[in-house]
Amino acid sequence: MIIKLDTFDTRRLEILNKTMQDNGAVFSVLADYVNNNEKFVTPEMLSQIVGEYEMEPSMAYSMLVATACGMDIHKDDTDKRIYNDYFLQTFRKLDATDFASDAYLRTIKFPQKKLGDWEMKMLSYAPCEAFVYDEPLLTSDFKEIPQIGFFEEEFSLPAVLEGGREWMAVKPSEILTMQTPIENAHGNVLAFGLGLGYFAFMASGKKSVKTITIVEKDQKIIELFQLELLPQFPHADKIQIINTDAFEFAEKLADDTKKYDYIFTDIWHDTGDGLAMYLKMKRLISKISNIEADYWIERSLLSSLRYTVFQQLYRLATNPEDRQPVENELIIESYADFIKQISDKGLREIVARQR
């Protein structure tokens, strides 16, 4: 790849590089907060700030978190910029009733059960506890804004733990990030990954969905699901489960594509373990023609990929001597062409080309 930018576009690239650095710094700070200090804000603290300053709860919450993160948003110009550009769009007070009314949560009676290393139990968010509730918001200038929410009251949710570690839970982030796949599901559906059956429950309730075939490699979680949860599904007759490896199953799909109309993949825990599996599954499914597919938290996975691709392109743009010449290589001659490569569409095309 050859990158030739004029002086003006080079300046714009440097601004984008700063934005990428800000994205990484904000993600790091807030990941640490959510994982290690998520209960710092208490209802009493929030109520005091809201009352004293007549401030909307989400803004008051963002100020308290900024303080907990050691930021001085009044005197430090960098902290002030980060707060205005990111924090003000990050935190949101959520209405617990919006999620408690979810059809799965209303229908499924979740037992306390253990089978081997797997355990089914109820977890909860404390009042004002911080949690990621949706995928990052990508702005037109490539800022990636984390989406962190809180409830003002305790909120209980069903979960499955493996070896004491949360493996799957029907939490707000699960409900919101499943909306698009559920809307897109139709005909004969193939789902990689069982979890707690949230996708299968919601998709099976659609008239446009005829069958759902779930591929799950862990026999223990299948047993728990079939024993405790599937009997409560109103449309359990549409669902069948195959106990095998998702990638091995996907390898054989090219010879049997007419059997399925839509594929949904949800076999990773988060972006930490998900990117490599996403890339592998995307390549396998891209070999199949005329089939619609979605991937859980794909925008978050593309966000992880975007940073890697940007760093590679930025290095080529600023250190052209590092380039290894290849035949018929792509030439980027404008900032507009550069950002096309790191857009969601461009990243999907890059993944599809990696056979």
Query: What pLDDT digit, counting tens, does each position of 126-142 carry?
Result: 999 999 999 999 999 99
Q: Which pLDDT tens digit goes with each residue over 162-217? A: 888 888 899 999 999 999 999 999 999 999 999 999 999 999 999 999 999 999 99
| DSSP helix/strand/coil, 157 | strand
**pTM for this one?**
0.92
Residues 30-48: what's their mean pLDDT? 97
Q: Kindly report the backbone phi and psi dihedral angles of residue 309, in degrees, each rounded to the nearest multiple of 5, phi listed first.
A: -65, -40
Residues 6+ apart with CB under 8 A from 347: 302, 305, 306, 309, 341
Q: What percent of the chain has pLDDT over 70?
A: 95
CA 192 to mean position of chain CA atoms: 16
pLDDT at 121 over 50: yes
In contact, 65 and 33? CB cutoff 8 Å: yes
Neighbours of 338 (CB within 10 A): 21
Q: Mean pLDDT across the chain, nearest whole number?
A: 92
Name 239's bridge partners: 212
Q: Report the percent of the chain where pLDDT is more than 90.
A: 79
User: What is the pLDDT averaged over residues 324-343?
Assistant: 78
Q: What is the mean pLDDT of residues 66-94?
A: 97
pLDDT at 257: 57
In contact, 181 and 199? CB cutoff 8 Å:
yes
Distance CA 224, CA 112 (A): 11
Give the pLDDT confidence score for residue 323 in this predicted structure.
Answer: 55
Structure tokens at 252: 């054989």
**Whether CATH 1.20.1300.10 fits 179-291:** no
CA-nearest of 203, 207, 223 to 160 is 223
The per-residue pLDDT for range 245-279, each reduced to its tens digit, is: 999 999 988 766 568 999 999 999 899 899 999 99
pLDDT of residue 165: 86
The tens digit of pLDDT for each residue in 100-120 reads 999 999 999 998 888 888 889
Nearest-CA neighbor of 309 among 16, 6, 8?
Answer: 16
Across 161-178, b (16+ Cβ under 10 Å) vs e yields bbeeeebbbbbbbbbbbb
Based on the number of CB atoms within 10 Å of its own CB, is 240 exposed (0-12), middle (13-18) or buried (19 or more)?
Answer: exposed
Segment 74-84 mean pLDDT: 96
Q: Is the pLDDT confidence value at 353 over 50?
A: yes
Given this model, what pLDDT does residue 167 score? 85
β-strand pairing of 155-162 with 165-169: antiparallel
Predicted pLDDT at 164? 86
Residue 70, pLDDT > 90, answer: yes
DSSP-derived 3-state class of residue 303 = helix
Q: What are the tens digits of pLDDT across the range 226-238?
A: 999 999 999 999 9
Work out the pLDDT band at 327, boundaries 50, 70, 90.
very low
pLDDT given for residue 332 in this prediction: 85
